[in-house]
Amino acid sequence: MREMAVLERAFDRVSGRIHEQIHNRATRRLPELVQDLIDEALARWAANDWLTFDKAEVNCSSQLYRWMTEVCRSDSRFFMFHVSIEHILLTPEMLNGSESVTGAARPDFRLSLRGGGVLLEAKRLTNTAKFSRLYVTEGMARFVSSSYGADESLGIMVGYVQDQAGPGLHSRVNGYVKTHYLMGVGHELKLSVSNTDWEWFSSSHERASGLPIDLNHVWIRLP
């Protein structure tokens, strides 16, 4: 019995170290893993004919949440991730009771794992200028101002491209980026990957805190 107990403790220590190594490796590869996870979730959503109740952002996001969660459950590459929707960011003041939680920032998603994580903010994008402006002022700007991801160097923006938005969408969004007081020339979105149903863009931003942030943008062309 004593020998068995010693072996069990030794196995626990070894498995604990392996588990920690897996998490540490995943944290180092976070940008690549997050993009792979989202790509796989979008492929499954596409196979389900992009089903969503309607065009409202929250209903599109519920479907993205569904498929990201399913990928995390079924693909061993992503077992260590936890997907949360309507994530609440509590400040130190909120935690010590000196500030109300009702004013907490609420990004749409968080993909987290031990030692790291990334916030996702989703916005609709159509041919109207309104949604392009909101993508920048109430999406990207929350990361650049450090309201979101203050201690993180990566964030994800999700754009639900609807109503057959035309090729001018990229230029329109970049127009708002170039004139935003926290961004400007050099902060524009650059196309990195394009396929039939979605595209990836990237942008890089200096922040007043001194910790710059890279934003990866996935624009999903919904029917």
Interatomic CA distance for residues 223 and 214, integer angstroms: 29
pLDDT average per 10 residues of sequence, the chain (223 residues):
51 44 54 95 98 95 96 93 81 74 75 84 94 97 95 96 86 97 97 95 96 97 93
pLDDT the model gives residue 189 = 98
**2-28 and 30-47 are packed helices; what angle lies between their axes, rounded to 10 degrees?**
80
The pTM of the full predicted model, rounded to 2 decimals, is: 0.83
Sequence ranges of the domains in the chain: 29-221
Cα angle 189-204-37, degrees, rounded to a multiple of 5: 75
pLDDT at 53: 96
**So what's the pLDDT on residue 104?**
63
Distances (CA, A) of 105 to 62, 116, 181, 186: 19, 19, 21, 27
Q: For residue 110, what are the contacts with CB-CB under 8 A and spacing of at least 6?
A: 83, 84, 87, 117, 118, 119, 120
User: Do 30 and 116 form a contact (C-beta atoms < 8 A)?
Assistant: yes
Amino acid 209: pLDDT: 93
